[in-house]
Amino acid sequence: MRSLYYFGDLDNIYKDYFSYNIEKKMVVKKKKSKSGKVDGVAKKTTVQTTTNETVKDEPLSPDTEKILSALGYPIWVIALVLILIAKPENKFGKFHGYQGLFFGIAWWVVVVVLSAFTRAPFIGWLFSVIGWFVGLGFFIVSIIYAVKAYQGKTFKVPVIYGFVPASSRM
């Protein structure tokens, strides 16, 4: 009896996503009988498989681009995802993605600075209260920016616009 070793079964994982040709190699192990003779012969068989699915290298649809742009302001991680998945021809998405990402980073910088001042004796409670109002202000402004982005408008966030790469500016 021959034992069969099968290598290269990764195409089952990737077949839904990529169009490619994979060569699978099957090897039959040599097996010696008691008399010392070789019962099986080492064979390499190559089987070519092709999937018919194609990679869609298309830009994001305008609706998807607007939704991700809008969600990028209150949830800056989505802005990062938008920057990474948007194609160069998706200028609207890239523009709002960068603005949303830098807006989120600015929000966290302000939170860290204000939380450092809350440790100060006697006036720490004042910075804590100021922090709550600043956080609420950032949240309200991010919702306003999200609505504008969803409506398809391009706008410049003060100070943040300067950090947007020139290739993504509108």
Residue 136 in any domain: the answer is yes
Q: How many domains is the chain built from?
A: 2
Residue 56 in any domain: the answer is no
Q: Mark whether 158 and 95 lie in a shared domain.
A: yes
Q: Mark whether 22 and 73 lie in a shared domain.
A: no
Confidence of residue 166 (pLDDT cuts 50, 70, 90): confident
Query: Exposure string (b/e) for 55-69, b if CB count within 10 Å is 16 or more?
Result: eeeeebeeeebbbbb
pTM over 0.75: no
66 within 8 A of 149, measured Cβ to Cβ: yes
CB atoms within 10 A of CB 114: 16
Confidence of residue 136 (pLDDT cuts 50, 70, 90): very high
Distance separating alpha carbons of residues 10 and 92, to the nearest angstrom: 37
What Å distances lie between residue 60 and 17, 72, 82, 153, CA to CA?
Answer: 17, 15, 10, 17
Q: Mark whether 70 and 135 lie in a shared domain.
A: yes
Tell me the per-residue pLDDT of 42-95, one tens digit each, with 9 for 90 and over: 555 555 555 555 556 677 888 888 999 999 999 989 999 999 998 888 889 999
Q: Mark whether 101 and 132 lie in a shared domain.
A: yes
pLDDT value, residue 1:
46
Range of the domain at 12: 4-50
Report the range out of 8-12, 43-47, 102-106, 115-119 with the highest average pLDDT. Answer: 102-106
Q: Mark whether 32 and 98 lie in a shared domain.
A: no
pLDDT value, residue 40:
54
Which tokens belong to 17?
A: 């996503």
Mean predicted confidence (pLDDT) in 16-33: 45
